[in-house]
Amino acid sequence: MSRKMLIDGEANNNSNNHEEEVQYDFDLFVIGAGSGGVRASRFSAQYGAKVGICELPFHPISSEVLGGVGGTSYGWELNEKIDFNWKKLLHKKTEEIVRLTGIYKRLLSNAGVKLFEGEGKVVGPNEVEVTQLDGTKLCYSAKHILVATGSKAQRPDIPGQELAITSDEALSLDELPKRVVILGGGYIAVEFASIWRGMGSTVDLCFRKELPLRNLEGRKVNLHPRTTLSELVKTEDGIKVRTDHGEELVVDAVLFATGRIPNTKRLNLEAVGVELDRTGAVKVDEYSRTNIPSIWAIGDVTNRMNLTPVALMEGTLFAKTVFGGQPSKPDYSNIPCAVIPPLSVVGLSEEQAIEQAKGDILVFTSGFNPMKNTISGRQEKTLMKLVVDAETDKVLGASMCGPDAAEIMQGIAIALKCGATKAQFDSTVGIHPSAAEEFVTMRSVTRRIAFGKPKTNL
Ligand SMILES: Cc1cc2nc3c(=O)[nH]c(=O)nc-3n(C[C@H](O)[C@H](O)[C@H](O)COP(=O)(O)OP(=O)(O)OC[C@H]3O[C@@H](n4cnc5c(N)ncnc54)[C@H](O)[C@@H]3O)c2cc1C
Ligand SMILES: NC(=O)c1ccc[n+]([C@@H]2O[C@H](COP(=O)([O-])OP(=O)(O)OC[C@H]3O[C@@H](n4cnc5c(N)ncnc54)[C@H](O)[C@@H]3O)[C@@H](O)[C@H]2O)c1
């Protein structure tokens, strides 16, 4: 198995002549075959590295000990009409996960990456151990180890918390829950509120901040701002939920969408000397390298920006740095993102722009009824916003809520990445008819926020 390691062009290579004689089983061993791990291993192999990767045994509902190649695959698409049949939807979802797992496995084997099914653990700076399903352990040495084990849902410590589910189980419930309470106001909370409400369930969304998510109100989601849950109790009719305002609701399911924590608990990292932060995330430098020079980490496990395309970027640049001879740092500026209901943002929010401002900030907004909604009678406005530096005229941020927001924002993200000014937006000819043309026709300033003014929560 042993072979002479590659002499690669990594950044700040700490290896010395003595080390170059060491024989390793692999040039790179990756723990976790999700978005980041698969990308990093494929690209490293394409640069000529001998790569091994391990992934937890497959299960459609992931947990600490079960997973599957492809990782947290929630971006499934369905080509058939589903008719809101929950069981059919679940069946299609599992089929899709199995299909994606197969695709990822083929990608790895076509790239010459050796895949191991089992739980990986770091046992030394250049040593990994994989525990297979039958309990047998495999041990391999590697010049570089990459930790790409993602994150897992965190549960608030509320009495009766075991009665609640997280997003891991939410798409595997036997029946569509007719009455749901969701705790949280982030990505997963608003997405599941939209999905379940769209399927006809009664949805109560409890979140700690004040700002109402008006778009969800329009979709008849019951909003409970500045509210958290104090207790869950099993009853004959379902789960009784008590809020900190003394309200009581009886529901079929309670979803905790209260953030995710890095998956580092079972990896033995601290024993090997790898530094973790207080959330358990692996601490890395700008090249994704830990304090142990042979150990690297990418994706959610580092808790930098927890998005699939970011894990892909970090994986790509890890391979380029370590095996491509071109040290490359990920660039986290102007990363666009989107959620359902269609809401998409890139760059700074108004609040962030004010916090970081060195001068005045100009805000341009536009709100209108999209033609699609006028025809269908849906009571939902499209809203758009541009946040501009008054002195440089540079567009600092853009956001949109309304149909096709994500599709439109991808193009706006390119403009922001290129450092576009408001004058350049204005001189761009719009596409008519489109909603997107509003982004190049917002002529009048909605508000000017003078430097040093107290921050808003917009
Ligand atoms: C419900 C939900 C919806 C999301 N939707 C979006 C979205 O719409 N857009 C977006 O950009 N992002 C979305 N995300 C975030 C996105 O999924 C993550 O940011 C991304 O998957 C991170 O990639 P990763 O490689 O770090 O981790 P993952 O893709 O989670 O991969 C980690 C892999 O490591 C495996 N693993 C863990 N421990 C071990 C071990 N000890 N040994 C071997 N293998 C191990 C896991 O089984 C898993 O396969 C969503 C997340 C969730 C939970
Ligand atoms: N469309 C997308 O891009 C997408 C979709 C889903 C998930 N994700 C990713 O998955 C990650 C996890 O999503 P998420 O929605 O769980 O996390 P999040 O960080 O987006 O939101 C967590 C929410 O829970 C609240 N919260 C935290 N602890 C709480 C407590 N004890 N009591 C009450 N409320 C509490 C927070 O205030 C926040 O509103 C996100 O970081 C995101 O990157 C992305």
With a 6 A CB cut-off, is 52 part of the ligand 1 pocket?
no
Tokens encoding 214 = 């008006």
Task: Give me the pLDDT at residue 136, please.
Answer: 97
| Parallel, antiparallel or unpaired: strands 151-153 and 260-262 | antiparallel
As a whole number of angstroms, the distance between CA 391 and CA 359 comes to: 7
367 is an annotated ligand-binding site residue: no
* Strands of 207-259, DSSP E: 222-224, 229-235, 238-243, 248-251, 253-256
Task: Give me the pLDDT at residue 75, please.
Answer: 47
149 is an annotated ligand-binding site residue: yes
| Residues 6+ away with beta carbon under 8 Å from 407 | none
- The verdict on ipTM greater than 0.95 is yes
185 is an annotated ligand-binding site residue: yes
Kindly list the protein residues whose Cβ atom lies closer than 6 A to any atom of ligand 2.
156, 183-189, 191, 207-208, 228, 257-260, 306-307, 337-339
Task: Give me the pLDDT at residue 44, please.
Answer: 98
- Atom nearest to 167 CA in ligand 2: 16
Which residues are catalytically annotated? 432
Question: Mind giving me the DSSP string for 176-187?
Answer: --SEEEEE-SSH
CA distances (Å), 15 to each of 8, 138, 294, in order?
Answer: 10, 26, 9
How many Cα atoms occupy the beta-carbon half-sphere of 217 within 13 Å?
8
Task: Give me the pLDDT at residue 218, please.
Answer: 79
- Atom nearest to 301 CA in ligand 1: 26
Residue nearest to atom 5 of ligand 2 (CA): 187
Residue 388 near residue 361, CB atoms below 8 Å = yes
Task: Give me the pLDDT at residue 457, please.
Answer: 55
One digit per residue, pLDDT tens: the chain, 458 residues? 333 344 344 444 444 445 557 899 999 999 999 999 999 999 999 999 999 999 998 887 777 778 888 876 554 444 445 556 788 888 888 888 889 999 999 999 999 999 999 999 999 999 999 999 999 999 999 999 999 999 999 999 999 999 999 999 998 888 999 999 999 999 999 999 998 998 899 999 999 987 656 678 778 999 999 999 999 999 999 999 999 999 999 999 999 999 999 999 999 999 999 999 999 999 999 999 999 999 999 999 999 999 999 999 999 999 999 999 999 999 999 999 999 888 999 999 999 999 998 999 999 999 998 777 777 667 678 999 999 999 999 999 999 999 999 999 999 999 999 999 999 999 999 999 999 999 999 999 999 999 886 655 55
As a whole number of angstroms, the distance between CA 61 and CA 101 comes to: 13
Most ligand 2 atoms within 8 A of CB, residue of 161, 167, 208 to mutate: 208
With a 6 A CB cut-off, is 302 part of the ligand 1 pocket?
no
Residue nearest to atom 1 of ligand 1 (CA): 167
With a 6 A CB cut-off, is 37 part of the ligand 1 pocket?
yes
As a whole number of angstroms, the distance between CA 355 and CA 212 comes to: 22
Task: Give me the pLDDT at residue 341, please.
Answer: 82
With a 6 A CB cut-off, is 149 part of the ligand 1 pocket?
yes
Q: pTM value? A: 0.91
Tokens encoding 84 = 């809101």
Q: 449: closest CA among 323, 324, 327, 365?
A: 365
CA distances (Å), 199 to each of 13, 181, 381, in order?
Answer: 54, 15, 21
Task: Give me the pLDDT at residue 63, please.
Answer: 77
With a 6 A CB cut-off, is 56 part of the ligand 1 pocket?
yes
